[in-house]
Amino acid sequence: MSTLQEPTTSKQVIEIQLKRGELEVVKTPYIKEEVLVKKRAVTETKEFTRQIIFEQVYTTNM
């Protein structure tokens, strides 16, 4: 048993206060882990032995 009502028309002013929230974000850096990097000298020698199939010599007039 619901009764529908028509909207009321009135000159009464209703004030509703609205609040505005402001968000402040602050980022703070911190050390999570540390990595140690070092260099070391490495000397490597390789020897190649292959048979030469073709050889070409260029000369210039001196």
Q: How far is CA 23 from CA 5, 19, 20, 27, 60, in A?
A: 42, 13, 10, 13, 80
- Give me the number of domains the chain comprises: 1
- In this structure, is residue 32 part of a structural domain? yes
Residue in this structure with the two tokens 């911190």, named with its chain if needed: 30
Q: Which residue has the higher pLDDT, 21 or 8?
A: 21
Average pLDDT over residues 41-60: 85
Per-residue pLDDT band at 26 (split at 50, 70, 90): very high
- In this structure, is residue 61 part of a structural domain? yes
Residue 37 is encoded by which pair of tokens? 């990097």
Per-residue pLDDT band at 51 (split at 50, 70, 90): confident
| 40-43 contact pairs (CB < 8 A, 24+) | none
Give the integer Cα–Cα distance in Å for 43 and 41: 7
- In this structure, is residue 4 part of a structural domain? no
Question: Domain containing 39: what range?
Answer: 25-62
Query: Model's pTM, two decimal places?
Result: 0.21
Inform me whether the pLDDT recorded for 28 exceeds 80.
yes
